[in-house]
Amino acid sequence: MMMAQIQQQKDRVDYTPKKFVMWLIVFSSFMMFAALTSGFIVYVGGKGKGFDMAIPPIFLYSTITIAVSSISMFLASRAAKRLQFGSQRLFLWITIALGIAFFALQVNGWSQLVDMGIYFVNPNASQSFMYVFTGMHLLHIVAGLLLLLNSLVGSYRNIPQVKRVFWMEMSAIFWHFVDIIWIYLYVFLLLNQK
């Protein structure tokens, strides 16, 4: 009887501080991307030289991929809250697969940039920003994939529902943020192409 009460007490952990830390991470990451795009604007304003290139179409495909992954993440979170563990796992697997596909598309986008003669180091430094924007975003994708994997592993374990939902919420916050940031970057890149 006493052990069951101790376990119930552990299950009622207040996750609010941890969620606040996640929001701090999201906010600081947002500020970093805002600083990068501001740096680009200042550089272009001073040099008068923009991207001077067309954004490869593969970046549109990666945008569609990550937008769909946000939908599957929403469905996974909803399934977790409804105790539909099979659906939760399915949608988490789909989200992870789409995240990996997004990563591959972005790397392929770099390959297309190289084929266009656009390198990280070149006389038009504004083109280097393309690599910086996408590279920093890919680091966030890797972090998001790790969070998703943690949620997926947790869905297979016998852990309290409150902890399972907490990890899903943390993963969802970060994954949706990564999605929104990419859409912001993609629109920014489109507006600054030739």
Residue 10 lies in a domain: no
Q: Which of 155, 166, 144, 47 is CA-nearest to residue 91?
A: 155
Q: How far apart are CA 80 and CA 172, in angstroms?
A: 12
Per-residue confidence (pLDDT) for residue 9, from 0 to 100:
55
Q: Give 10-residue mean pLDDT values along the chain (194 residues).
A: 56 72 91 92 79 88 97 95 92 98 96 90 83 94 96 88 87 96 94 80
Q: Write a three-state SS string for 4-60.
A: HHHHHHHHCCCCHHHHHHHHHHHHHHHHHHHHHHHHHHHHHHHHCCCCCCCCCCHHH
Residue 2 lies in a domain: no
Per-residue confidence (pLDDT) for residue 4, from 0 to 100:
55
- Our count of domains for the chain comes to 1
Per-residue confidence (pLDDT) for residue 10, from 0 to 100:
55
Residue 5 lies in a domain: no
Q: How does pLDDT run across 53-77, given as a tens digit for each residue?
A: 889 999 999 999 999 999 999 999 9
Provide the residue range defining the domain that includes 112. 17-191
Find out whether 108 and 136 touch, Cβ atoms under 8 Å: no
Q: How far apart are CA 140 and CA 66, in angstroms?
A: 13
Find out whether 178 and 141 touch, Cβ atoms under 8 Å: yes
Per the listing, tokens 């966030």 go with 140
DSSP-derived letter for residue 101 is H
Residue 4 lies in a domain: no
What CATH number has the domain bearing residue 155?
1.20.120.80
Residue 7 lies in a domain: no
Q: How far apart are CA 56 and CA 79, in angstroms?
A: 36
Per-residue confidence (pLDDT) for residue 13, from 0 to 100:
63
Per-residue confidence (pLDDT) for residue 8, from 0 to 100:
53
pTM listed for this prediction: 0.87
Residue 116 lies in a domain: yes
Per-residue confidence (pLDDT) for residue 2, from 0 to 100:
60
Residue 129 lies in a domain: yes
* Both tokens assigned to 5: 């009460």
Per-residue confidence (pLDDT) for residue 36, from 0 to 100:
92
Residue 9 lies in a domain: no
Torsion, Cα 72 74 80 83, to 10 degrees, reads: -90
Find out whether 132 and 38 touch, Cβ atoms under 8 Å: no
